[in-house]
Amino acid sequence: MNVLSANHIVKSFGKTTVLKNISFEVKRGEVLSVIGPSGSGKSTLLRCCTLLERVDSGNIVYGDLPMVQTGEHGKGIYSPGPVLQQIRRHFGLVFQNFNLFPHMSVLRNITEAPIRVAGQSREEAESRARALLSDMGLSDKERAYPCELSGGQQQRVAIARAMALQPDILFFDEPTSALDPELTGEILKVIRKLAEARMTMVVVTHEMAFARDVSDRVIFMDSGVIVEQGDPKQVIEHPKSERTRTFLSRFNGI
By CB under 8 A, residue 50 contacts another protein: yes
CA neighbor of 88 nearest in space, from 158, 160, 9, 162: 162
Which range, of 13-21, 91-99, 182-190, 206-214, touches another protein by CB under 8 A?
91-99
Among residues 60, 93, 201, 236, the one that binds another protein under rule CB under 8 A: 93
Which regions of 95-245 does DSSP assign to beta strands (E)?
A: 169-173, 200-204, 217-222, 225-230
Among residues 103, 189, 233, 245, the one that binds another protein under rule CB under 8 A: 103
CA of 110: how far to CAs of 134, 154, 194, in Å?
A: 13, 12, 17
CB 143 to another protein: min, Å: 11
CA neighbor of 111 nearest in space, from 84, 88, 137, 131: 131
What is the footprint of another protein within residues 60-89 (CB under 8 A)?
85, 88-89
Contact indicator for 94, 170 with CB cutoff of 8 Å = yes
CB 147 to another protein: min, Å: 5
Output 110 or 236, the one with its CB closest to another protein: 110
Phi, psi dihedral angles at 65 (to 5 degrees): -100, 115
By CB under 8 A, residue 176 contacts another protein: no
Among residues 24, 62, 95, 247, the one that binds another protein under rule CB under 8 A: 95
> How many residues are present in the chain?
254
Residue 200 pairs in a beta bridge with: 169
What is the footprint of another protein within residues 128-157 (CB under 8 A)?
145-147
Binding site for another protein (CB under 8 A): 50-52, 85, 88-89, 91-93, 95, 97, 99-103, 112-113, 116-118, 145-147, 161-162, 165
